[in-house]
Structure 1
Amino acid sequence: MKPEVDSKYKVFSAVFLGICFVTGMTIFGYCFLLSKQPQKTVTVIGSAKERVVSDIATWSSSFSVKTSESALSEAFKLMKRYEAEVLSVFEQHGIDRKSVKASSITVMENYVPEQLATERSYTLVEYLFVETRDIQEIAERSKLITQELLDKGIVFQSNPVQYYYSKLPELRVKLLSEAVKDAKRRAMEIASTSGLKLLRVVSAKSGVVQVLAPNSTEVSDYGTYDTSTIEKDVMVTVNVVFEVK
C-alpha cells in the first residue's frame, strides 16, 4: 500500500505544479500583452508669463586717440590725461569712480594702402564699463556725459544701456510650476471633450526661458534675453505628456 500512496502523491504533485506553471505563464503572457499595447497619451504645452522690472543696468563706452608710430609715447600720455578727464566727468554726473571698470589701453594698427603709407599709424582705445542699480537715471546720464566729452574734443563712443533682472533663476522655478498647472488645465479640457479620463504624468520637459520686451512675441528655440527695455516679460513653457483612458 505504501508504494501506491507515494505514486499517487507524485502524480498529484506533478499535476499541481503543471497547473501552477500554466497559470503563471498565462498571467505573465497577459501582463506582457498589456505592456505591449499602445499607451493612450495626450501631449500639452503649458506656459506662464510674468512682467518684471529690471534691477541692474550696464553701460559700456570707450575713448580713443589716433597717432603715428613716432608719436606713440605722447599718445599714451594723452590717453592717461583723457582717462582722468573722463572719470571726472563721470563723477560730476553722479557715477562714482569706484563703480567704473577701465580696461588697459589697447593698441590697434590702422590699415593704410601700401602706396599711400609713409609711416605706420595706430589707434589707442580704452574701454569703460559701469554696472549700477540706478535704473531710471543711467540712460540720461550717459547721454549728457557723451555730449560733454565730445564737446571737449575727446573721441568718446557710448553704447546703449542694457537692462537685466537679477532674480531670474528664482522666477523661473515659480513660472515652471505655474506652467505645469496650465498644462494640466489644458489637458483636462482636451480629455473631457474627447470622453477620456486624465491619469498620471508620463513625462515633462521644460523649455528655455524667454525674456522679452513687453508684449513681444519674438521667441527663440535657444532662448531670448531682451536688454533694451526696463520692463520685461519673462515667459516659460513646459511640454507635458499625460496618460489617459
Structure 2
Amino acid sequence: MAVLSVGLIGATGVLVKGVRRANDTITVTGASTERIRSDHVDWTVDVFQSGGSQQASYQGLQPSVQRTMAFLRAEGVQEEELTLGALRSEREDVRDPRSGEIRSTTWTTTQPVLIGSDDVERIRAISGRIGELIGQGVPLRSQPPAYTYTKLAEKRVDMLAKATRDARSRARAIAAEAGAGVGAITNADTGIFQITAPNSTETSDSGSYDTSTIDKDITAVMAVTFRVE
C-alpha cells in the first residue's frame, strides 16, 4: 500500500498545479490483487548412502531407493509422476593434521527422486508422511514441495486490465477534487508482479514468486498516465 500512497500523492500535486493547461496529465498507480491456487507441484526426495568406497556406497544405496519408490507408489504417486534424477557421488577424506596423510575416506552416493504432479493436495499429504521411511532406517532428505501456477501468462493479462481500471478510478477521484475530468491514457508502465503467500506483506523490487504455499496472492501494479480534461 505504500507504493499506492506515493503514487496518489504525487498525482495530486501535478493536477492541482496545472489543471487548466491543455497538456496536463495525471499519473496514478493502480493495483489488483487476487487469490490463486497452485495447480502443479514439484518435490524432490534425496536418498543417500555412505560407504568406504564408491562402489560400496552405490550398492548400499539401491535397496533404499527401491523402498522409497515402493512407498511413493503405495501412497498413490503415479509412475509418470516419478523420475530418477542424476546420481551424485562425493568423496570425503579425513587427513592427519600433522602429516596431511589420508586417514580414512568416505564416499556418499545420492539418488534424487523427482516427483512432478498436478494433484497438489495428494503430494502435500504424502510429503508430510515421508518421514515414516526415516523411521524405518531409510536415509533420505525431503526437500520442501514447490507449488506453482501454470496459467500465469493468462492471469497476467487479466490482472493488468484490472490494475488499469483501478488506476482510472483513482485518477477520477483525484481529478474530481479539482473540478476536472480524466481522458485518454497517454502512457502505461507495467510494474513488478508479486506472487506471495496469502496475506503476506513481502515485496521485492525484482518481483517475487513464493512456492511454499498452495494458495497464493498475486498482485499486479500499473503506473498509468491520463490526460486531464
Please confirm whether the aligned pair reaches a TM-score higher than 0.5, indicating the same fold.
yes
Count of residue correspondences = 206
Match of 1:130 among 94, 115, 120: 115
CA contact (8 A) 1:146 1:157 kept: no
CA distance, structure 2, for counterparts of residue 226 and residue 104 of structure 1: 26
Aligned to 1:13: none
Instruction: Tell me if structure 2 keeps the 8 A contact 1:93–1:145.
Output: no
The equivalent of 1:32 in structure 2 is: none
Structural mapping, 1:1-245, within 5 Å: 39-68=23-52, 71-115=53-97, 117-147=102-132, 149-245=133-229
Per-residue deviation at 1:111? 5.0
TM-score (norm 1): 0.77
Percent identity, please: 29
Following TM superposition, where does structure 1 have runs of at least 4 consecutive aligned residues deviating by more than 6 angstroms? none
Structure 1, unpaired ranges of 5+: 1-36
What's the offset of the Cα at 1:97? 3.3
For each residue in 1:119-156, what CA deviation from the matched residue of structure 2 results, as whole angstroms up to 9, or x when unmatched? 32221111111111222222221232332x21232211
C-alpha RMSD of the superposition = 1.9
Counterpart in the other structure of 1:11: none
Q: Compute the displacement of 1:88 (Å).
A: 1.0
Q: Structure 2: which 5+ residue stretches go unaligned?
A: 1-20
CA contact (8 A) 2:83 2:115 kept: yes
Instruction: String of CA shifts for 1:66-89, please: whole Å, max 9, x gaps.
Output: 122xx3222212222322221111
Alignment match, 1:9: none
**1: CA distance, partners of 2:126 / 2:165:** 44
1:195-233 CA-partner distances (Å, limit 9, x unpaired): 333232221011122112111121211111111221111
More strand by share: 2
